[in-house]
Every structure is written in structure tokens, then in C-alpha cells.
Amino acid sequence: MKTRSAIWLGSALFALTALGFTAQRVIAADKIDPATEAKAFQNFYFQKFPNVKHEDFVNGPYSMNEDMKRQWQEKEEFPPYEFALDAGKEMFATPFKNGKTYADCFPNGGIGIRQNYPYFDGKEGKVVTLELALNRCRAANGEEPYSYVKDEMASLTAYMAFTSRGKLMDIKIPDDPRALEAYENGKRYFYTRRGQMNFSCASCHVQSPGERIRAEILAPALGILNAMPIYRSEWSGMGTTSRRFITCNSQTRAVPLEPQSDEYRDVEYFLSYVANGLPISGPGARP
């Protein structure tokens, strides 16, 4: 009888082999090379969709279908996330009660830095996402934290993403075994099946991008976070990265984790790293 870990390893090896990884690389953890893995991850999509420009993968399902791409281009003339941009810009510039602003918490005043998040914090030994950094900024200035799944956080991250549009994702894995472990944990979470439907993140976004599930066209995993946060028609509003992870778990009938849990931060680290070199396109809009 197979153990749970053996079942997971078999599933992971199957998925990773599809991306050009080898069983030896998975088993010999001390030889893991994230840069090589990221190149193989990207090449998998480039070969699967040879007619899609590499930079267009950040547009999710709109890169998969010419009709949808035209609809998206028309939608971008009057983007549904514009209200969030305006709100986020105002929030970003409004001083806290102590007179400071978000700009005091970030390099370059918080402008044009989205492509550097998440990052691995060597002092803490964990991944720090942009959402987490914003709430830590609020706490440091005597303000109550925002919900990770509500409009305030979505608006703030939308504005910060907008100031980085066109900049290339540039996530670092420092020479620290804990950083590599966070990357590995994120990869493991991405490929692990869970929930009543026994789906992994990869079930939809590696095995089936471009295909329909009900009325939705599944997005490729490559560049999926470059467009965050996103406006979704089914939400009739904006959604943060945290909200997207929770929604995915719920849709596969898995138990969602707490927003900004280590697992969610690690999978964001993994997905962002393998998208290095692709442009930031957020905030985005999806059906």
C-alpha cells in the first residue's frame, strides 16, 4: 500500500517530467537549480503555445484565444478596475495619523517596485509578499491591518502594480537554504492534489490551460501572478492574490488556508520566480 508521501511524489514526478524536470532533480534536493527549473517551466508553455508571444502569457486566458484577446483589448479602453486604481492612489498618498505614508515603508517610495515582490527575508527566514508588507507598514504606523481579501488591499496593490507595468518580474532566491526550502515548499504545494475533487493547482494551470471549465477558459500558470490583483466578473469587484488562492481551494472543494499562511506565501514565491523576465501587467481583468 502506497504512503501519502509516495503518492504525492509519484504525482509530482509526473507533473515535473512534463515540464522537462527529471526524477533525479526532484529526489536530489541538494542539486536543485531553480533557474534551470524556471527555464524549463517557461519553455513548456512556449512550446505548448508556440503562437503566443512570450510577454502575452501574463494576460492569462486572453492570450489563448484571438476572440477573447480582442474583447480584452476593447475592455482595456474602459477598464473595470479603474475605480480601484483611483482609490488605491488616494489611499497610498493619504497620511497615517502619525503623518507618515506608505511611501515611508518601501524602497523608491513604493513606486515601481511590484516586480520585486515577494522576496525572501533573511532575518525572518520567511517569504514577504506585497500584501503582507503593506499590513506591516500599517501596523508600524499605528494603523489597523486591512483584510487580505477585501477592496482596500486590492486597491492598494492595484495602484502599486500599475506603477510597475511593463517592468519585468525579478524575484531572487538568495544563497540561503531556507529560501530554497520556501521555493521547494511552494512548488510542492502547487503540484499536490487536495480536496474532494483531488485537484492540484497544476491540474488546471499546467495540464489544461486554454481549455474550458464551464464558461471559463483556464489560464496558464506562467505569468498568472503578474496580472494580480484582478477584477473578476464573477466577483463584480477586485480580488487580491490571497483571495484568488482561497477561491481556487474552495472551487476544488479543498479547505482554504488562512490568508498569508506560509503555504500561500511560498506558492506565491514559486509562481513569481518561474515568471521572472515576464512583464508586470496588473491590475488585470478576467471573466
Radius of gyration of the chain (CA): 19
Round to whole Å and give the CA distance between 185 and 204.
19
**Dihedral over Cα of 49, 51, 56, 62: its sign:** negative
In the CATH scheme, what architecture does the domain 4-79+174-286 have?
Answer: Orthogonal Bundle (1.10)
pTM, entire model:
0.89
For residue 98, what is its C-alpha cell? 502619525
Evaluate if residue 208 carries a pLDDT over 80. Answer: yes
Confidence of residue 252 (pLDDT cuts 50, 70, 90): confident
Beta strands in the chain (DSSP E): 119-121, 126-128, 212-213, 216-217, 230-232, 237-239, 284-286
Look up the CATH number of domain 82-162. Answer: 1.10.760.10
Q: What is the pLDDT of residue 5?
A: 37
Neighbouring residues of 42: CB distance < 8 A, sequence distance ≥ 6:
54, 222, 274, 277
* Identified catalytic residue from 105, 201, 204, 248: 248
Mean pLDDT, residues 216-242 taken together: 92
Round to whole Å and give the CA distance between 169 and 34.
15
Confidence of residue 30 (pLDDT cuts 50, 70, 90): low
Evaluate if residue 238 carries a pLDDT over 80. Answer: yes
204 phi and psi angles, rounded to 5 deg: -90, -45
Domain spans in the chain, listed from the N-terminal domain onward: 4-79+174-286, 82-162
In the annotation, is 105 catalytic?
A: no
Evaluate if residue 29 carries a pLDDT over 80. Answer: no
Q: Do domains 4-79+174-286 and 82-162 have the same CATH topology?
A: yes
